[in-house]
A and B are shown apart, each in its own frame.
Chain A
Amino acid sequence: GPKVLQIPSHQIIDMGQMVTLNCDPVSNHLYFYWYKQILGQQMEFLVNFYNGKVMEKSKLFKDQFSVERPDGSYFTLKIQPTALEDSAVYFCASSLRLGAAETLYFGSGTRLTVL
Chain B
Amino acid sequence: QQQVRQSPQSLTVWEGETAILNCSYENSAFDYFPWYQQFPGEGPALLISILSVSNKKEDGRFTIFFNKREKKLSLHIADSQPGDSATYFCAASADNNRIFFGDGTQLVVKP
Contacts and interface: CB of A to CB of B under 8 A. Distances in A.
Interface of A: 4, 6, 31, 33, 35, 40-45, 48, 56, 91, 93, 95, 98-109
Interface of B: 2, 31-32, 34, 36, 40-46, 49, 51, 87, 89, 93-104
A104 B96 contact: no
Given A45-B99, A56-B96, A101 B32 contact: yes
* 7 smallest beta-carbon distances between A and B, as pairs: A106-B43, A43-B101, A100-B32, A42-B103, A101-B32, A108-B43, A100-B93
A108 B104 contact: no
Contacts of A103: 34, 46, 49
Contacts, number: 64
Given A106-B45, A109-B43, A44 B101 contact: yes
A100 B31 contact: yes
Contacts of B36: 106
Contacts of A48: 97-98
